[in-house]
Chains A and B, each alone.
Chain A
Amino acid sequence: QQQVKQSPQSLIVQKGGISIINCAYENTAFDYFPWYQQFPGKGPALLIAIRPDVSEKKEGRFTISFNKSAKQFSLHIMDSQPGDSATYFCAASIAGNQFYFGTGTSLTVIP
């Protein structure tokens, strides 16, 4: 059973555009929602994370939007660049114990 559902599976965006990746969850006990960026042959790297007591968190060009009532959260990449091309995973956790990952989104930013 997939605890965290992620979409789309793949995404192609023009340079300068906005990339949006969505995730949904069911377990209301989740209290930490990170996003990870993974380049081929490398381990995932923490990109940005949010807790359910805030609706939005922004770090540079990356923004997480969180909708607690809908049990959804999304990653927005503003002014997308070719260097942002990677696989992105959302995740959810309860108190930092076992993390549940989405299925991943392969992002390609074309020049």
Chain B
Amino acid sequence: GAVVSQHPSWVICKSGTSVKIECRSLDFQATTMFWYRQFPKQSLMLMATSNEGSKATYEQGVEKDKFLINHASLTLSTLTVTSAHPEDSSFYICSALAGTDYGYTFGSGTRLTVV
């Protein structure tokens, strides 16, 4: 089946630093990847849609300068949380559409803790 690999699974960083999260499609090409944020016991909130070779599309209320998305190849999208603050602490999940048979495949998520 389609696999989306996300790294790191857990990261702790100091306030003011930047953190990069990688999302890779391992056995398929993903022209579009999605980035979500999830707070404890809540649903997934779409942050942005990442398109290969073009600028990401951000949802309303999401700061594009804070959450930098790069989709440089058909198998890799990255989310960089710049100048992280404690309120950015959350669970970040990427996903990609792996054809209609597999639906929407999610990465395993990244737990970000900003101290």
Interface-centre pick from A49, A98, A102 (highest chain B CB count, 10 A): A98
B41 touches A42 (CB 8 A): no
Q: CA A43 – CA B4 in complex, angstroms?
A: 10
A89 touches B43 (CB 8 A): yes
Chain B interfacial residues counted at CB < 8 A: 23
A41 touches B111 (CB 8 A): yes
- Is A96 interfacial (CB 8 A cutoff)? yes
B97 touches A43 (CB 8 A): no
B111 touches A93 (CB 8 A): no
Q: CA A91 – CA B108 in complex, angstroms?
A: 18
B-side binding surface: helix, strand, loop or mixed?
Answer: strand
State the Cβ distance, A104 to closest chain B Cβ, in Å: 5
Nearest-neighbor residue (CB-CB) of B102 within chain A: A46
Task: Report B's interface with A, CB cutoff 8 A.
Answer: 4, 6, 34, 41-44, 46, 49, 91, 93, 95, 97, 100, 102-109, 111
Can you pick out 27 interface pairs between chain A and chain B where the beta carbons lie within 8 Å of each other? Answer: A32-B103, A36-B104, A36-B106, A41-B109, A42-B109, A43-B93, A43-B106, A43-B107, A43-B109, A44-B93, A44-B106, A46-B102, A46-B103, A46-B104, A49-B103, A87-B41, A89-B44, A91-B104, A93-B104, A96-B97, A96-B103, A96-B104, A99-B104, A101-B43, A104-B41, A104-B42, A106-B41
